[in-house]
Structure 1
Amino acid sequence: MLSTPARIVVSLCMAIGLVILYVPLALIVLNSFNSSRTFSFPPPGFTLEWWVDAFHSRGAADALATSVIAGLCAAAIALVLGTMAAFAVQRFRFFGRQSINFLVVLPITLPGIITGIALASTFTALGPLGVTLGMATVIIGHATFCIVIVYNNVQARLRRMGTSLEEASGDLGGSGWQTFLWVTLPQVRGALAAGVLLAFALSFDEIVVTTFTAGPAVQTLPIWIFQNLFRPNQAPVVNVVAAVLTILAIIPVWISQRLAGDSVTSRV
């Protein structure tokens, strides 16, 4: 148990950390209603004009659609490959198992610019084979680090649940697929859903890797925001888009936490 002074210090540090994290986000939402184009503070007035402009912005809408498509595809690839890798590493013993575990996790630890340069160099080298930068290369680039999110979630769940129920299913005559569908899958589906949601969220706001893999024809929402941020006529609209994304980003994280928490509770 912490002493009273220690609890006060810990609470103070936590409060400072929350202020540092969330006050800037609150200012983004506040500035989306700021009547001043220069975002003077305190706001001289409040308006919904920028929200109307953002709603009618074709560029923002197209970039949003691109980000959603890329995020869904990258999350789908991550779901399949990350789940398979997690089952292989956690349920089987083979030579090089720890090396595979290291190689799967490595992309999320590398700086985004290193991953982006490596992918861009690879796609350039594959140019004679008809590979060009576009939506497909963006999806592949995002999938490289999204796989780790699903992999870590599924592997952690498999490690906690053990193998006793699966072994019991096999002893009762269940085939491999029957055991997976009726025993294993219900226990890991929360981790799968949480991993997919977090992978989508990570892909949706990725900008560094996207910059190196998108090419001139593909523009995701983070790239659109960055390109229009310093344009005086677009800055208020960018602020509205950022405010909406800030609010929407809460949804997948909250759902993934609820899914993970409910799954853990159901086993207790």
Structure 2
Amino acid sequence: MRLVFMGTPDFAVPALDALVEAGHDIAAVYCQPPRPAGRGKALQASPVQQRAEALGIEVRHPLTLRDPDEQARFGAINADAAVVAAYGLILPKPILAAPRLGCFNIHASLLPRWRGAAPIHRAILAGDEITGVTIMDMEAGLDTGPMRAKAEVSVQRKTAGELTEELARAGASLMVQVLADLDLYPPVPQPEEGVTYAAKIDKAEARLDFTEGAVAAERQVRAFNPAPGAFLELSGERIRVLAAQIEPVSGPAGQVLDEHMLIGCGGDALRPTRVQRAGRGVMTADELLRGFAIPPATQL
């Protein structure tokens, strides 16, 4: 097929690779424009742009798709279909209608659960045991289109980063299967029951809340790893917690309970195992404590 691929972050790269390997003609890749990144704030191309350029595919990154000229330019590609994976822009009706077969989205949840911007984070925070990917036909609503196929993935104790990688691979494979024979995967309307919305993550949500219990705090650690990073604050300094484990020790919420940074959560306690100070490398909690005193009875 002659395809347009629309995606921006690492999550979308396996799908682009899989479509190329399957022999599809990728006429153009759409992604978000380069953004300032790093300490020098130099412009950095997105992972999808970098991969597309390495593959020799034309890259476009318009600021909006609502401009009639941009819509005409998109339509002039004469694509059979568009494949969308975490692109980052809303597709207006003229864009959705342009490809002969329509636009297909790789969504990182088992729809209709977790429609919206942050399905992977929300699944972890909610304690879902199973999540997955859904291939769906795109329409004007927010992830409301009919579904073509699903693939389940176990959440277990994975971080958002680990789960994203696994879901990206699953979505790429499933998208190739669907495009190989659309008749085998007819569109099925989403059920009205079970709809939930995955709101965009606010960085303030990454502050560890020990009053909600150790289970909820440990989910925060995994859900916000690698970004934005779950954190606690002490003496005006923010300390990121990248990994932690739950221990059956009772203690006041937010109070340090021993010499190794065990933190009370009311019932069970949370023990950070990998942490990071601002401007420093990742270290164990004990390595942190050798240069940053957090004595027992400290209230976080």
What TM-score range do you get, normalising by the shorter chain?
A: under 0.3
- Looking at secondary structure, tell me which structure has more helix per residue: 1
- Looking at secondary structure, tell me which structure has more strand per residue: 2
TM-score (normalised: structure 2): 0.23
